[in-house]
Amino acid sequence: MDTRVAVVSIIVENDDATKEINELLSGFADYVIGRMGVPYKERGLRLISVAVDAPQDKTAALSGKIGSLPGVSVKTAYASIS
């Protein structure tokens, strides 16, 4: 199955969603290249970047599940190289 490299960018405004985000990412661990989380205390936000190499449908499903959480925004950028 073909995979694509992508970066999933997550902005968390609702701290209650953090546990569920971590659970979703753990279930996707086989595809994760790396992740970085940055707390932005002055704004009360958490910024998370996750680099993945996965089939596009899997990445889209993960982004959709995370993006459906209250107080969470997500965007995915794909590499142009397949």
Would you say residue 12 has pLDDT above 90?
yes
What is the DSSP pairing of strand 32-40 with strand 45-54?
Answer: antiparallel
Sheet containing strand 45-54, edge to edge, reads: 32-40, 45-54, 4-12, 72-78
CA distance 20 to 55: 22
Q: What is the pLDDT of residue 81?
A: 78
The tally of domains found in the chain comes to: 1
Structural domain span for residue 64 = 4-78
Q: What is the pLDDT of residues 13-57, one digit of tens each?
A: 999 999 999 999 999 999 999 999 999 999 999 999 999 999 999
Beta bridge partners of residue 49, listed in sequence order? 9, 36
- What CATH number does residue 18 fall under? 3.30.70.1150
